[in-house]
Structure 1
């Protein structure tokens, strides 16, 4: 096994998180993503987030020692393995290597940076809409908005998810399988959505934009309703995303397609409204550790829940099954693989 070079650490992975957008597009090497070169490569790392125990340290590493619990996070962290070799700076020391720590590492951090820096800071009394609120980053965003004193509206796709969200104190939960989201927003929140934390895309994104306040913002954290497992990939000749599509199926030419907004990290002004494809754009790199620490502190104080889906996956060989399960939309919270 390769030992760490100067400034590196070797981490024995205990838990790895499934990040569907990163991992599925990384494997496919879709041409419109940063992973296009993977189409011609046989070697690239997978596993965007994990927690584990430091097994070895390289020269010059003073902040970590063998036996420390850490998290690793980032698109190339390589957490889908029994061990990962990474920079010491890329590790975050935690009290214990746990599945909950994985939830906070990337999914939680994304929500905190997006809502507090890029689209925020959140203000008491604002109305915040969170789509896919039963998912890994959605339930984080919903709780952060609640903690800030916002009115929180959440969408999800099952009664089980709706019950969990209501138990958090969410003000309005919309199960899109039972209610028309666009109609509920028009009736109950006409142009009153100040911030939308949006990860679904398609007609739901249009419904959100139709009810966004004149000075509101939309933070795009994905577009799972349009991912290749739902519709053919653009690379395969399907041009379904070439134009913005409204809830009525009509073209909305002033909107960038969901995949362009997200992967090209666009920031679009639409009058006084702002659409963020890069939800990290509002934070300086040096401030990221502070946003991460804030999350772990809130969790340690019992103010923030980190949901781990109840279905168990064990070992590297279960990663494919874990990703496929996450893409079904049935998971509540983060899908995590335990490494034996």
Structure 2
């Protein structure tokens, strides 16, 4: 099979190789998937660069997200799965071989049926961006009738979070950093959009809700936004945070948050429990089947352009997801 891999961490164009490896075969309980699209996420480029520590295996085929068709099943897996379209989660999480190849073998439960109305490119965005958004929105139950704030609403996760919260019956307020991103957030279903670079963000959020405080925040930058969050969150509100890059060690205003009975939910999509994963899969499957999700593909690359894909994600200028086609 054609595949991309690295044997040491470093710059994308220095360490990523595209060549031929032996086709893998599934073990018991596994399926082999003919990958049609592989999703590139920030965590993938951080692992390859060495930002997440030393290389964990002698050779790593990157990327946890992907989509394709099951072409071989291992012992104990229902043969009826052969030929089915699937999307993958955690393909490269604590594993040497991810989706940046023509084939990958994964445990059967990590290959989720992909509805016929959803493209392989879209399927390659579901394992991390859409699943993170889904857990952030619904980890504590339904959001119908709630007011949900999505920060960074034009990002890969935020874009899905807007749609899922709106689909779930919430009133959705979004923060973005510019007019183009505001248009994307509005098209995704945001009821109100605040440009945090041109306004007193907390005041603008409350103005947008008519003074209604926020029940749940889907948070891309926990530390950097904490003062605003504390100012707008309703008593008993939840901050569901999946990032804090600008301020990774924030000082916590414990007593104001405590007296507001605030819940802080820190999330790592790779580490979802079996029940949490099942809930995410169920919600996403329902949303996909209902045609409730738009998929924001910002850039497409060929397999031998994987280094360029990593560089594009590292640059941080893409609005949406980067996807690699393996055909």
* TM-score, length basis structure 2: 0.78
Q: Separation in 2 of the partners of 1:319 and 1:109?
A: 23
CA contact (8 A) 1:153 1:170 kept: yes
List alignment gaps of at least 5 residues for structure 1: 227-239, 245-251, 256-268
Q: Match for 1:196 among 210, 214, 217?
A: 217
**Alignment pair present for 1:67 and 2:86:** no
- The 3-state SS of whatever aligns with 1:149 is coil
Whether the aligned pair in 2 keeps the contact of 1:52 and 1:70 (CA below 8 Å) is yes
- Residue 186 of structure 1 and its aligned partner are, at CA, apart by 5.9
- TM superposition shift of 1:49: 0.8
Residues of 1 paired with 2:191 and 2:235: CA distance? 22
Are the equivalent residues in 1 in contact too, given 2:312–2:318 (CA < 8 A)? yes
Instruction: Verify the 8 A CA contact 1:71 1:102 in the aligned structure 2.
Output: yes
1:320 corresponds in structure 2 to 307
**Does structure 2 retain, via aligned residues, the 8 Å contact 1:191–1:210?**
no
Q: Is the 1:133–1:154 contact (alpha carbons within 8 Å) kept by the matching residues of 2?
A: yes
2:188 to 168, 188, 195: 168
Equivalences for residues 96-111 of structure 1 within 5 A:
96=116, 98-111=120-133
Shift of 1:47: 0.5
Pairs within 5 Å for 1:275-314:
275-278=264-267, 285-286=274-275, 288-309=277-298, 311-314=299-302
Q: Alpha-carbon deviation of 1:273?
A: 0.3
Cα distance, 1:270 vs. partner?
3.5
Any conservation in 2 of the 1:142–1:152 contact (CA below 8 Å)?
yes
Residue 337 (structure 1) aligns with: 324
Quote the Cα distance in structure 2 between the aligned partners of 1:40 and 1:147: 39
Match of 2:14 in 1: none
Aligned length: 295
Aligned to 2:44: 23
Measured at CA, do residues 65 and 169 of structure 1 come closer, stay the same or move farther in structure 2, by a change above 3 Å? closer
Alignment partners' CA distance in 2, 1:64 and 1:206: 53
Q: CA deviation at 1:117?
A: 2.4
**Contact in 1 for aligned 2:70/2:81 (Cα 8 Å):** yes
Q: Structure 1 CA distance, aligned partners of 2:79 and 2:57?
A: 35
Tell me the TM-score normalized by structure 1: 0.75
Secondary structure of the 1:209 match is helix
Runs in 1 of length 4+ with deviation above 4 angstroms?
186-191, 279-284
Mapping of residues 120-269 of structure 1, within 5 Å: 120-124=141-145, 126-185=146-205, 188=208, 192-224=213-245, 226=246, 241-242=248-249, 244=250, 252-254=251-253
Alpha-carbon distance between aligned partners in 1 of 2:178 and 2:248, rounded to the nearest angstrom: 26
Structure 1 28/283 Cα, relative in aligned 2: closer, same or farther at 3 Å?
Answer: closer
| 1:114 counterpart SS class | helix
> Using the alignment, how far apart are the partners of 1:210 and 1:320 within structure 2?
42
Q: CA deviation at 1:79?
A: 1.3
Q: Once the 2 structures are TM-superposed, how far is the Cα of residue 212 of structure 1 from its aligned partner?
A: 1.7
Name the SS for the 2:225 alignment partner: helix
| CA distance, structure 2, for counterparts of residue 111 and residue 24 of structure 1 | 20
Secondary structure of 1:335's counterpart equals strand
Q: Report the RMSD for the aligned CA atoms in angstroms.
A: 2.9
* Cα distance change, pair 216–253 in 1 and its aligned pair in 2 (3 A): closer
CA contact (8 A) 2:85 2:113 kept: yes
More strand by share: 2
Q: 2 CA distance for matches of 1:117 and 1:46?
A: 28
Assess if the C-alpha contact under 8 Å between 1:105 and 1:292 holds in 2.
no
SS in 1 for 2:183: helix
67 and 241 in structure 1: CA distance in 2 versus 1, 3 angstrom threshold: closer
Match of 1:55 in 2: 71
* Cα deviation 1:2-56 (Å, max 9, x = unaligned): 3222222221211111221x223323455xxxx54x3575434421110012232
Deviation of 1:140 (Å): 1.4
